Structure 1
């Protein structure tokens, strides 16, 4: 009669294979999650810039058009606005106690001329292009 079940070596091989898969997949997953959270900064910057432009259309000035600082939509970044009469710069800085605190792309900036800035070296990677 043949007994059914797994031997210890079969179990160890399975665990080793799973460990290798996790070691490869986990960093990739974490990078995708971080990239998804960056969209929070980009979206909030774009929406704040739109508010500033609408206000400028009505009042011919950017000053006092939006309150600053505010949290981004999902709360991963703090949005600040440096506004003057004819120009502005909107900045999204990762919260120091949040999950994006180690993001090398922070801070993100967007100005009245549409120039995009960030703390990283790769604009396409940071801005999600």
Structure 2
């Protein structure tokens, strides 16, 4: 008697169902990790701009007039799904923000816009808290 080789249709359907369940579980976890990784990269860029703001202050005795060109920071955010803004630059204080754009804006509703001041005060615009959203 010949033994047939191969898979039955039921075995194949079972393998497909198990694969679909694993994908359904793992994709949201991967997506969350990807959002957090992009946010962390943007936080690093924000900190780099803060360092450049302090250097600017040491040279000019003021934050006023600080721009990305003056800070030599035009390419700090290149490749990131965020927009960096100097929202305030006075004689003695500054405020920086990173604002999510594109797909990151739709996926990162928990944290939203992250802000950093000259006193290292950090804030978020989303419903998450600072400890959850900042590294």
| TM-score, normalising length: structure 1 | 0.89
Report matched runs for 1:76-95 at 5 Å.
76-81=81-86, 82-95=88-101
Which stretch has the larger CA shift, 72-81 or 2-11? 72-81
Q: How does 1:26-41 map to 2 (within 5 A)?
A: 26-41=27-42
Of 118, 128, 131, the residue aligned with 1:112 is 118
CA contact (8 A) 1:40 1:73 kept: no
- Structural RMSD (CA): 1.8
Separation in structure 1 between the aligned mates of residue 79 and residue 113 of structure 2, nearest angstrom? 16
> What is the rounded CA distance, in whole Å, between the counterparts of 2:82 and 2:18 in structure 1?
38
Aligned equivalents of 1:83, 1:10: Cα separation in 2: 66
Structure 2 spans left out of the alignment, 5+ residues:
none
Q: What is the TM-score of this pair, normalised by structure 2?
A: 0.85
How many equivalent pairs are there? 126
Could you report, residue by residue, the CA deviation over 1:19-52 in whole angstroms, capped at 9, with x for unpaired residues? 1100110000000000110022201210111111
User: Which residue does the alignment assign to 1:99?
Assistant: 103
- For structure 1, the residue ranges without an aligned partner over 5 or more in a row are none
Q: Deviations over 1:66-123 (max 9, x none)?
A: 238x67232311111021111000010012xx22112121211000100111123232
In structure 1, C-alpha distance between the alignment counterparts of 2:30 and 2:132, rounded to whole Å: 16
Q: Which secondary structure state, in structure 2, belongs to the residue aligned with residue 78 of structure 1?
A: strand
Aligned structure 1 segments of 4 or more residues deviating by more than 6 angstroms: none
Considering Cα pairs closer than 8 Å and 6+ residues apart, tell me whether 1 or 2 has the greater RCO.
1
Partner of 2:130: 123
